[in-house]
Chains A and B, each alone.
Chain A
Amino acid sequence: MRIDRIAEPWGTRTPYGPGEQWPTRVDSYLADGLTADDVDRWVQSATILHSNGDGLDIAVKDDRIVGVRGREVDRVNHGRLGPKDLYGWQANNSPDRLTRPLIRRDGELIECDWDTAMEAVVGRARELLDEQGPSAISFYTTGQLFLEEYYTLGLIAHGGIGTNHVDGNTRLCTATAAAALKETFACDGQPGSYTDIDHCDVIALYGHNMAETQTVLWTRVLDRLAGPNPPQVVCVDPRETPVARAATVHLAPRPGTNVMLMNALVHELIAHGWIDRDYVGAHSVGFDELEKQTRAYTPEVAAEVCDVPADRIREAARIIGSAERLLSTALQGFYQSHQATAAAVQINNIHVLRGMLGKPGCGILQMNGQPTAQNTREAGADGDLPAFRNWSNDSHIADLAQVWNVDPMQIPHYSPPTHIMQQLRYVEEGSIRFMYVTATNPAVSLPELARIRSLLSQDRLFLVVQDIFLSETAQLADVVLPAATWGEKTGTFTNVDRTVHLSEKAVEPPGEARSDLDILIDFAHRLGLEDKDGAPLVKWSDPEGAFEGWKECSRGRPCDYTGLSYDKLRGGSGIQWPCTDEHPDGTERIYVDGRFWAQPDYCESYGRDMVTGAPVEETEYKALNPTGRAVLKAAEYVPPHELPDQDFPFQLITGRTLYHFHTRTKTARAPQLHRAAPEVWVEMSASDAADRGFVEGDLLEVTTPRGRVRAKVRISGIRPGVLFLPFHYGYWDTAHGSAPEGDDVRAANELTLTDWDPVSKQPIFKTAAAQVQRIATSTGPAPAPTTTGSAPVSGQVPPTTGGDDALAHEHVGGHA
């Protein structure tokens, strides 16, 4: 069957009931009218434009990628693919891929050979190491490389150069997921499995528009909702998203008040005795504190602050409190909001209070946004040490130093890793003078862009950008290194529910582009990085060698990969870690029977103060949690740091749409995805629009104390008083390249403020005070999709469709 997957992002329903197997449905898309018979070979991989980790095969014809097909055998997707997967691969074949290194000469980036580029990079790094030491050097990576590359990068930065300045753009996406898990379970690692959707009777989605960010996971939910005995759905989101429309109860709090709402939900659970006292008594510490902390947060108090009816809060609490199998998920609505970690931790608390962990249907998915973000975290490229080692535990450092054969003193562990926002502060004051950026685009994705651009374009900063396109950030670089991407290199990556996939090389990268792993190893060798015996620090030369090295590093740690190999990952489904000799098929559920990884000598983190972010000291943690139970922790509500006033009466939140990923470097180069959401828009509620006499499609200027953006207005189901801007749109496909010019200003992050959660250090993108004015009256609807959270509530807006070249195949119940 052929179906337009732009118009129908979740495809055809295959309903199923609780405890049943999710039916298969194999989705595929081949370009240019090709059929499966035309394909030369299919190469195993998984999806790369979101975090779901759907198994797929890449179709190759004449040594070019020509399409994709979902893997029926994969536990994650049972054959399904989302729109970004079906069409997004076309970006690989884009004619404007970077194919040669670039170097800045007399202010211009010009092509050069690899030797010239690498010698410039290594030369400057060496110069700074001699002059200032490792504090001058920083690395900022991504959630889109492969595990092998992160592990190698972490080794080079921590073990070789010895800098503490290592972070990933996972800081913007998944840092709070990790931080929240570390607070409750003293260790990263997802206590959920996607199959919890098959078993649960309640799903609570907190600031998680799953329908758009993980389309295939939402398809699984939709299929449960269409089947017998469907789960009830609780949704917390200020927008009327597809999730909100499917919800039994939808709570739309004021931005910045999540902690107030969550404290009230926990208050209700405790007040009604909807808790498992035996479980709490046996497997947790801190209940008395939690009870005390949430006592004052009645639904009435929360109703006032959050502007949500008290009865609706009670109703949500009752559904959660009477669930027999509760699945909870969270994403950016919590993670990129004020008091991010404190809000996300309350989700964990609910599961501990209800004893709903480690059993079918009872999971927490503190989601990731990016395909390989889990690996950034576990392999040590977000600054955390590899395999969830604890930077403040000397024996963990000694152990790691042994694995790497370096002096423990070489590995920085005197303080937490320098997160990107702090790195930028050091760039600003001039003590970081070399920044090596891999596969991310801070000149569009970080808050307060005018500041970011001015920092990154300083002469005193040597900026290296390794990417596949000349992004806004690459345009500011001193050296640009052309990289290979998914489909052009081999490696593994791990999704939210700990499923590890192998992604094999299908075709050669374009021109002289090289894999990130090759480039990093070349960098290490040219820099002469050695272990303590004088041998090369990086001991592998290919992905499989790096994977084997990583396996050793992970041995005995929570994310144990020692039972996995490339061979084992070939052919079948992805496999969930921990995977060891004792558990050769992986581990579907962790934290079974209240057994955690929280013992003081084993845990990854002792936690932090939930308001100030100050790390908890080892002695304190040992006294609090000597036997390694789950930690119940809560914070008081603190008002957001920027509140609306007369001049800036709106609260601005930024976010994403189903059809794009990050700064659109790939998705805007796939015609079907580009056409579905070609330009920036701003969402406003019908009542706010009516008050101002605005209609669908009016051109507005949105202003905050940091800047302004012009966008057509979509009158949507967003709550009154709030504006929404998608953050995907930068400048690479405008006339000016890397920055706005004149009135052509469209990046949402021109407007956001520089502020972050003190615990997770995740920047806050969802509480800026803003004003709007109309620049021109409507000449047609806003260029926003109608199928998603931006669905119109007024005016004549034609539905979003993909047209003939968006027809994908769908085969329910089997092979394509």
Chain B
Amino acid sequence: MKLDMAIEELHRSENHLVTVLTSMSDKHKTDHEVFHVCRDMAGWSRTHVAELARRGRDFGLDLDAEASEDPGVLAAVKQRAAELTGRRATPGLLLLADLRHLYREAAGTSVDWELLAQGAQGAKERELLDVAERCHPQTLRVARWANSHLKVTSPQVLAS
């Protein structure tokens, strides 16, 4: 049984997704939709981290239920930097790069959920499967948002 490894890996990637989302939010504070939606979606990943930590105990894991976050000072610095460059055009390109990065991270995490769900089914671990069924759609929504926001943002950035 290697489900513990799958849970641990997913806990790590959801944790990372929280960091990617909050950091992206801070860096693009002047892009208000990015700022707020990334924070809302980070909330999903925080719940996933907590759920995985709770379920992990059944598999002998001692995982942190709290997602590791940027210290407040660093977040504030990123937000301030975003405000200072808000009148310039370069953040548009950075946003595209960050959206691309987020898409890849969310897609990777989504595959991890796929693996966990398959493993849970194979091992007939109903509660673990429930967690996957609750959380996986939200991770997919993050990937979809990143993809769709790339589509919305790129024409203006690339054509002007």
Are A and B part of the same complex? yes
Bound Cα distance A431, B31 (Å): 14
Does A421 count as interface, using CB distance less than 8 angstroms? yes
Contacts A638-B40, A641-B36, A755-B36 supplied; 8 other A-B pairs, CB < 8 Å: A135-B159, A414-B151, A429-B86, A431-B92, A609-B141, A611-B37, A614-B148, A756-B33
Contact status A758-B88, CB under 8 Å: no
Contact status A613-B37, CB under 8 Å: yes
Bound Cα distance A754, B148 (Å): 21
Does A415 count as interface, using CB distance less than 8 angstroms? yes
Contact status A614-B32, CB under 8 Å: no
Does A584 count as interface, using CB distance less than 8 angstroms? no
For residue A611, which residues in chain B have a CB less than 8 angstroms away from its CB?
37, 40-41, 141
Bound Cα distance A132, B86 (Å): 21
Picked from A425, A426, A429, A754, the residue with its CB within 8 Å of the CB of B88 is: A429
Does A430 count as interface, using CB distance less than 8 angstroms? yes
Report A15-41 residues with CB < 8 Å from chain B CB.
none
For residue A430, which residues in chain B have a CB less than 8 angstroms away from its CB?
87-89
Contact status A421-B32, CB under 8 Å: yes
Report B18-50 residues with CB < 8 Å from chain A CB.
30-33, 36-37, 39-41, 43
Contact status B87-A431, CB under 8 Å: no
Picked from A135, A416, A421, A609, the residue with its CB within 8 Å of the CB of B152 is: A416
For residue A414, which residues in chain B have a CB less than 8 angstroms away from its CB?
151, 155
Does A133 count as interface, using CB distance less than 8 angstroms? yes
Picked from B37, B39, B87, the residue with its CB within 8 Å of the CB of A429 is: B87
* Contact A612-B41, Cβ < 8 Å, known A428-B86, A429-B92: yes
Contact status B89-A614, CB under 8 Å: no
Picked from B40, B147, B160, the residue with its CB within 8 Å of the CB of A431 is: B160
Does A395 count as interface, using CB distance less than 8 angstroms? no
For residue A135, which residues in chain B have a CB less than 8 angstroms away from its CB?
155-156, 159-160
For residue A612, which residues in chain B have a CB less than 8 angstroms away from its CB?
37, 40-41, 141-142, 144-145
For residue B87, which residues in chain A have a CB less than 8 angstroms away from its CB?
428-430
Does A615 count as interface, using CB distance less than 8 angstroms? yes
Contact status A641-B31, CB under 8 Å: no
* Contact A614-B144, Cβ < 8 Å, known A414-B151, A416-B152: yes
* Contact A425-B141, Cβ < 8 Å, known A431-B89, A641-B39: no
Contact status B160-A136, CB under 8 Å: yes
Bound Cα distance A614, B141 (Å): 8
Q: Which 4 A-B pairs have the closest CB atoms?
A: A612-B145, A614-B148, A431-B160, A135-B160
Question: 1/0 per residue A119-139: CB within 8 Å of B?
Answer: 000000000000011011000
25 CB < 8 A contacts A-B: A135-B155, A135-B159, A135-B160, A412-B155, A414-B155, A415-B151, A425-B30, A425-B31, A426-B156, A429-B87, A430-B87, A431-B92, A609-B144, A611-B37, A611-B141, A612-B37, A612-B41, A612-B145, A613-B33, A613-B37, A613-B145, A614-B147, A615-B148, A638-B43, A755-B32
Contact status A133-B159, CB under 8 Å: yes
Picked from B30, B43, B141, B148, the residue with its CB within 8 Å of the CB of A428 is: B30
Question: 1/0 per residue B42-84: CB within 8 Å of A?
Answer: 0100000000000000000000000000000000000000000
Report A399-455 residues with CB < 8 Å from chain B CB.
412, 414-416, 418, 421-422, 425-426, 428-431
Bound Cα distance A752, B155 (Å): 30
Question: 1/0 per residue B121-160: CB within 8 Å of A?
Answer: 0000000000000000000011011011101100111011
For residue B43, which residues in chain A have a CB less than 8 angstroms away from its CB?
638
Bound Cα distance A88, B160 (Å): 44
Does A515 count as interface, using CB distance less than 8 angstroms? no
Bound Cα distance A132, B91 (Å): 19
**A447 — nearest CB in chain B belongs to which residue?**
B32
Bound Cα distance A474, B39 (Å): 36
For residue B141, which residues in chain A have a CB less than 8 angstroms away from its CB?
609, 611-612, 614
* Contact A614-B149, Cβ < 8 Å, known A430-B88, A431-B92: yes
Does A164 count as interface, using CB distance less than 8 angstroms? yes
Contact status B160-A609, CB under 8 Å: no
Contact status A754-B32, CB under 8 Å: yes
**A609 — nearest CB in chain B belongs to which residue?**
B141
* Contact A132-B145, Cβ < 8 Å, known A425-B32, A429-B89, A756-B33: no
**B155 — nearest CB in chain A belongs to which residue?**
A414
Chain B contact residue count (CB 8 A cutoff):
30
For residue A613, which residues in chain B have a CB less than 8 angstroms away from its CB?
33, 37, 145
For residue B39, which residues in chain A have a CB less than 8 angstroms away from its CB?
641
Task: Bin chain A's interface residue count.
Answer: 20 to 34
* Contact A758-B159, Cβ < 8 Å, known A428-B87, A429-B89: no
**B149 — nearest CB in chain A belongs to which residue?**
A614
Bound Cα distance A429, B151 (Å): 19
Question: 1/0 per residue A622-662: CB within 8 Å of B?
Answer: 00000000000000001001000000000000000000000
Bound Cα distance A754, B28 (Å): 14
For residue A429, which residues in chain B have a CB less than 8 angstroms away from its CB?
86-89, 91-92
Bound Cα distance A780, B156 (Å): 54
Bound Cα distance A758, B152 (Å): 13
For residue B91, which residues in chain A have a CB less than 8 angstroms away from its CB?
429
Chain A: minimal CB distance from B52 (Å): 19
**B43 — nearest CB in chain A belongs to which residue?**
A638
For residue B30, which residues in chain A have a CB less than 8 angstroms away from its CB?
425, 428
For residue B89, which residues in chain A have a CB less than 8 angstroms away from its CB?
429-431
**B147 — nearest CB in chain A belongs to which residue?**
A614
* Contact A422-B33, Cβ < 8 Å, known A132-B160, A430-B89, A638-B43: yes
Contact status B160-A133, CB under 8 Å: yes
Bound Cα distance A612, B88 (Å): 26
Bound Cα distance A164, B30 (Å): 21
For residue A614, which residues in chain B have a CB less than 8 angstroms away from its CB?
141, 144-145, 147-149
Report A589-616 residues with CB < 8 Å from chain B CB.
609, 611-615
Chain B: minimal CB distance from A459 (Å): 12
Chain B: minimal CB distance from A123 (Å): 20
Question: 1/0 per residue B92-127: CB within 8 Å of A?
Answer: 100000000000000000000000000000000000
Bound Cα distance A614, B43 (Å): 17
Most chain B Cβ neighbours within 10 Å, of A412, A414, A428, A614:
A614
**A764 — nearest CB in chain B belongs to which residue?**
B36
For residue B155, which residues in chain A have a CB less than 8 angstroms away from its CB?
135, 164, 412, 414-415
For residue A416, which residues in chain B have a CB less than 8 angstroms away from its CB?
152
**B157 — nearest CB in chain A belongs to which residue?**
A431
For residue A418, which residues in chain B have a CB less than 8 angstroms away from its CB?
156
Contact status B37-A758, CB under 8 Å: yes
Most chain B Cβ neighbours within 10 Å, of A415, A638, A641:
A415
Chain B: minimal CB distance from A260 (Å): 15
Contact status B32-A756, CB under 8 Å: yes
Bound Cα distance A125, B37 (Å): 34
For residue B86, which residues in chain A have a CB less than 8 angstroms away from its CB?
428-429
Bound Cα distance A132, B39 (Å): 34
For residue A431, which residues in chain B have a CB less than 8 angstroms away from its CB?
89, 92, 156-157, 160
For residue A421, which residues in chain B have a CB less than 8 angstroms away from its CB?
32-33
Chain A: minimal CB distance from B39 (Å): 7
**B144 — nearest CB in chain A belongs to which residue?**
A614
Bound Cα distance A758, B18 (Å): 20
**A421 — nearest CB in chain B belongs to which residue?**
B32
Contact status A609-B32, CB under 8 Å: no
Chain B: minimal CB distance from A278 (Å): 29
Chain B: minimal CB distance from A293 (Å): 11
Chain B: minimal CB distance from A350 (Å): 24
For residue B31, which residues in chain A have a CB less than 8 angstroms away from its CB?
425
Most chain B Cβ neighbours within 10 Å, of A164, A612, A638:
A612
Chain A: minimal CB distance from B85 (Å): 9
Bound Cα distance A567, B142 (Å): 53
For residue A755, which residues in chain B have a CB less than 8 angstroms away from its CB?
32, 36
Bound Cα distance A381, B155 (Å): 20
Bound Cα distance A431, B160 (Å): 6
**A412 — nearest CB in chain B belongs to which residue?**
B155
* Contact A609-B92, Cβ < 8 Å, known A132-B160, A136-B160, A421-B32: no
Most chain A Cβ neighbours within 10 Å, of B37, B91, B147:
B37
